Chain A
Amino acid sequence: MLNQMNVRGLLFDPYNNAYIVILRDEQNSDMLPIWVGKAEASAISFALEQIAPPRPMTHDLMKTVLDNMDAKVISAVITDLKDNTYFAKIHLLFGDSEFTVDSRPSDAIAVALRTEAPIFASGEVLHKQNSEELERWLENLKPEDFGKSDI
């Protein structure tokens, strides 16, 4: 079963020097945090804040390439979680066929936000990630850990 997710924001994780993309389902009952690198966080943040950079960034190029090929992004799906690594698939419509392309969640989210495609997470992924552990981690965050940081 797939759950539609919204990107609620980005946090800086000072302990791992990485960024966390927070996805929530529509009812706001399930949360999925995904750790991403700085460049990927920046790509997601530009799309969230609708900033148009002077030169196309890698994910803007990704969208332009797909547009030029007349391929449409149907959806991005976070499919699995194995050894702390999330897996995703990008579903494309090209001609009359659907194509499924393996991707990191960060790329899938960055391209979905730019093409206004929905983002889903499988029930299995939501079940696997231990939300209790996350909430404990979030409680330890200080207010200054939030915000735009330096991306």
Chain B
Amino acid sequence: MTETNTLIPLKVHGVLVDPNTDTQIVVLRDEKNSEVLPIWVGTAEGTSIRLALENVIPPRPMSHDLICSFASHLGFTLNKVVITEVKNNTYFSTLFLSKDDLEKTIDSRPSDAIALALRCQCPIYVTPEVLERRGGEDLDTWLSKLDQKGSEQSEKTDI
């Protein structure tokens, strides 16, 4: 299921503010820009992802900077993160960490996985099953509407 040859690499396209709820939407796209995967995240997680996207270095380390700092102090590498599953509108993801010959996989929320991947500069993948289940042909139209609405609040997110 998480074999690298079937996984689809994704890039973080931007973070939008959902004006209807107290959440933000991380928009992921594949390399050909043909697939789009929006993931709803909390305000703190959305902010953390946006800071990493814009290469902002906050005066004090944020929670995800701290996790990266643990890894670099202890000599661990985050090799990749994979969005593995969607169940009842909840996305699941896995972190792949290694040190020497030791490999570890850790369950995480996609928001944490994405925030860490951007900071550790490792690739983000999604399984084909997750993209299939996402469905929704109107997604692009819907997102572009939201983008216009949200552009006042998040001018810099449209990268």
Measured CB to CB, the residues of A under 8 A from B are: 37-40, 43, 55-59, 61-62, 64-66, 68-69, 71, 85, 87, 90, 92, 94, 99, 101-104, 107
CB <8 Å contact, A56 and B70 = no
Residues of chain B having any CB pair with chain A under 8 Å: 42-45, 59-64, 66-67, 69-71, 73-74, 76, 90, 95, 97, 99, 104, 106-109, 112
Asked, given contacts A37-B44, A69-B99, A107-B63, whether A58 binds B112 with beta carbons under 8 Å apart, the answer is yes
A58 partner residues in chain B, CB cutoff 8 A: 44-45, 63-64, 67, 112
Shortest Cβ distance from B140 into chain A, in angstroms?
A: 28
Instruction: Please tell me if the beta carbons of A65 and B106 are within 8 angstroms of each other in the complex.
Output: yes
Contact partner of B70 (CB less than 8 A), chosen from A39, A55, A71, A87, is: A71
Inter-chain contacts of B70 with A (CB < 8 A): 62, 65-66, 69, 71, 92, 101
A87 → B minimal CB distance (Å): 8
Chain A residues, CB < 8 A from B108: 56, 61
Q: Is the CB of B109 within 8 A of A102?
A: no
Separation in Å of the B68 CB from the closest CB of chain A? 10
A61 pairs with B104, CB closer than 8 A: no
Docked complex Cα distance between A104 and B59 (Å): 10
B42 touches A103 (CB 8 A): no
A43, B42: Cα distance in complex, Å = 13
**For the complex, what is the distance from the CA of A69 to the CA of B62, rounded to whole Å?**
21
